[in-house]
Homo-oligomer: A and B are copies of this chain.
């Protein structure tokens, strides 16, 4: 009775899902505080004060129509606030008409992909990548073309991207700071990618999935994709910036420098409607408007990144310290990352094999966890290191 494709996909399962189930089994067996769970990507900070205050103001205010339908693109004043912010960040004149509020970054990506893809059109993904991109492309009849990043720098490999381009290449999804690798694409690389794409004889649109853009450490600033790329649609959310992942509030912004940019934003808004998202949740649109420049205290994430990196480095793991995002992405000792993740689970350490992101030989650990989890995990990592013969 279930659609054959869905039955197949469910049968395969996802690595994160399997880790989640293994985690539940271990937690039931040993107690939650005896399991060191770095497998999830759930920001654990509470939303910043500006969000809490905006929420209280809005609901106590009881302003009429707060929960009503609005234009499918979202409230005009909310889109103006978003446009003003991205104008400041990019130096480009972004207007409300180029913004559509969406059901998270996932809603943004799906709306733009549906707007762009004819059956069989190709979308380039840069491995390692967030595995849901595969579903999002498939939802709209597209074909994913995987291009591995450089195995040393974990940065996109422009020569490999050039080789992967075909007349059917319609889009490329980029994600910086990257989930899972934590690398920030430097400005020169974004500009070189722009050059490469603009030289092709048909339009290739960059979808920049950038929910981690405000989570950069060591004083790094994530370069503005709107500033560096001409044919770009920003697809983002406030899930990480404001710790609101459950509220499904995001947006898409079609660069004013895109070919036929008016038509593209109209198509994306149309797809936002017909895909059944209809509009971004109304109350949180207003929250975004009121807290547009707020963000969580990222020094707390930076501290945890440093703590967990230190634990891993001390135990002998090979690790490039991430510049942004919420994840460490060390080499997996022994190269078989799936076997390594299973070994870690035996030590009650939960993490996700790089294969889950189509990039073998690495594992992903989320450091958005309580500091006590990191502290208490030290003996487990030492035991894992001994098992794998690492030298701390």
Interface residues of A (CB under 8 A from B): 1-7, 9-10, 40, 42-44, 46-47, 52, 55-56, 59-60, 62, 64, 66-70, 103-104, 106-107, 109-110, 114-118, 121, 132, 135-136, 139-140, 203, 205, 243-248, 259-260, 263-264, 266-267, 270-271, 273-284
Contact = CB atoms under 8 A, between A and B. Distances in A.
A246 B7 contact: no
Nearest to A135: B274
A50 to B, nearest CB: 13
A166 to B, nearest CB: 16
A40 B68 CA distance: 12
A132 B6 contact: no
Contact of A132 (B135, B136, B260, B274): B274
B116 A248 contact: no
Given A246-B67, A275-B110, A116 B264 contact: no
A203 B1 CA distance: 7
Taken together, the copies of this chain in the complex come to 2
Contacts of A44: 68
The interface centre, meaning the residue of A6, A43, A107 with most chain B CB atoms within 10 A of its CB, is A6
Contacts of A2: 115-116, 260, 263-264, 267
Closest 4 CB pairs of A and B: A246-B282, A106-B276, A135-B274, A110-B276
A9 B275 CA distance: 13
A280 to B, nearest CB: 8
Contacts of A274: 9, 132, 135-136, 139
B276 A246 contact: no
A112 to B, nearest CB: 11
Nearest to A284: B281
A67 B276 contact: no
Contacts of A42: 68-69
A267 B55 CA distance: 34
Contact of A46 (B5, B64, B116, B121): B64
Contact of A6 (B3, B64, B107, B115): B115
A267 B10 contact: yes
A205 B110 CA distance: 27
Contact of A67 (B47, B267, B273): B47
B68 A59 contact: no
A128 to B, nearest CB: 19
A245 B1 contact: no
